[in-house]
Homo-oligomer: A and B are copies of this chain.
Amino acid sequence: MSDRDPSSEPLDEFALIASVKRRVQPAPGVLLGIGDDAAVLAPSEHPQIVACDALVEGVHFKRSWISPEALGRRIVTANVSDFAAMGATPRWALLSFTVPSSTDTAWCYAAHEGVIGGLEEVGAALVGGDTTSTGGPVTLSLTLGGDALWEPLRRSGGQIGDQIWVTGTLGDSALGLRMLKEGGGTSPEQAFVIARHISPEARLDWGLWLGSEGVGRSAADVSDGFLQDLGHIALASGCAAEVQLEDIPLSDAYRALHEGSSAPNLHDLALTGGEDFELVFTAAPDANLPARRGAIPVTRVGRLVSGESGAIRVLNADGSERRVLQAGWRHFRSKVAEDV
């Protein structure tokens, strides 16, 4: 009702919602967007895909590490990464935005800008949500919905003999997080891994290709840690997996930073660090995969084998076994990586 910039006023639920509503572009398929009791979407002839991810201040991020725009984009990336793992196309999203009353108004607007911008980049629209105050940490929970234009990739589709592939490089995000915890870093290598943690990219292009070509038999995104997410595939597919340690794809920055550190094992973070948002997937042994799509390579790292469901054997370069019982992030438990 006024010409004042609402982001310079004290935080107000309805002013924020009204501003976000004005910012969001009309989108095909959205019959009724922000501002009613619920949103209305046009019927689709395709199966519908829905996923939900949350980011909690103090658990997933610190406000001193990440700009509000990057935070908004990051919650979108976490969900789009799930869509990539299904080979599905994002269309719409609902944001549950929970912040302390003392939160800077401009910060809240910028976080929404990040969400809306991140969604626009993948052709999706924010159609509603819930904005609430909290006495605790900032918490963003995003639900993403969209279409399965072809058979969705499932974790359970793997078959014994499948080759295991992974996009991009692993461990950069976890190493970037370690750098942030140690106070940041300004070298090109440090900046690279920190950016991989703060502003990760989802591998939607790869996921859509795997689904549309029927090449992917099973897939998951690497959000909890490579071994754990591969373990989800193996467990769901009723088989075990073998991984060649030296084939795990590492970035030059990751290798350089490891050389300058006291960490004993080069691959530990790459195997167990979370939030890479790469894809791990399996394909038939004779599948024909391009070496890369755009700038993102794909690397064969192992195969599905018979054995205890979900068990993963990691093989050293000399053929000896490095068995990892459990590794990766699980909420409510500390990270466990056990070598036997």
B133 and A51: CB pair below 8 A? Answer: no
A37 and B51: CB pair below 8 A? Answer: yes
Residues of B close to A236: CB separation below 8 A: 35-36
- Beta-carbon contacts under 8 Å, A323-338 to B: 330-333
- CA of A98 to CA of B96, assembled, Å: 12
- Beta-carbon contacts under 8 Å, A203-235 to B: 219-221
A56 and B143: CB pair below 8 A? Answer: no
A38 and B49: CB pair below 8 A? Answer: yes
Residues of B close to A58: CB separation below 8 A: 134-136
B13 and A332: CB pair below 8 A? Answer: yes
Cβ-based interface call for A128 (8 A): yes
Q: Give the interface centre of A42, A52, A82 by most chain B CB atoms within 10 Å.
A: A52
- Beta-carbon contacts under 8 Å, A107-147 to B: 127-137, 139, 141, 143-145
A40 and B31: CB pair below 8 A? Answer: no
Question: Nearest CB to that of A221 among chain B residues?
Answer: B37
Cβ-based interface call for A85 (8 A): yes
- CB proximity of A255 to chain B, nearest CB, Å: 29
Question: Nearest CB to that of A41 among chain B residues?
Answer: B48
- CA of A135 to CA of B41, assembled, Å: 36
- CA of A45 to CA of B44, assembled, Å: 7
Q: How many copies does the complex hold?
A: 2
Cβ-based interface call for A63 (8 A): no
Q: Known contacts A56-B98, A139-B98, A141-B141; is A38 also within 8 Å of B82 by CB?
A: yes
A12 and B130: CB pair below 8 A? Answer: no
- CA of A144 to CA of B41, assembled, Å: 13
- CB proximity of A64 to chain B, nearest CB, Å: 15
Question: Nearest CB to that of A14 among chain B residues?
Answer: B330
B56 and A332: CB pair below 8 A? Answer: no
B40 and A43: CB pair below 8 A? Answer: no
Residues of B close to A331: CB separation below 8 A: 13, 101, 131-133
Cβ-based interface call for A196 (8 A): no
Cβ-based interface call for A86 (8 A): yes
- CB proximity of A145 to chain B, nearest CB, Å: 7
Q: Known contacts A58-B134, A331-B132; is A152 also within 8 Å of B45 by CB?
A: no
A154 and B36: CB pair below 8 A? Answer: yes
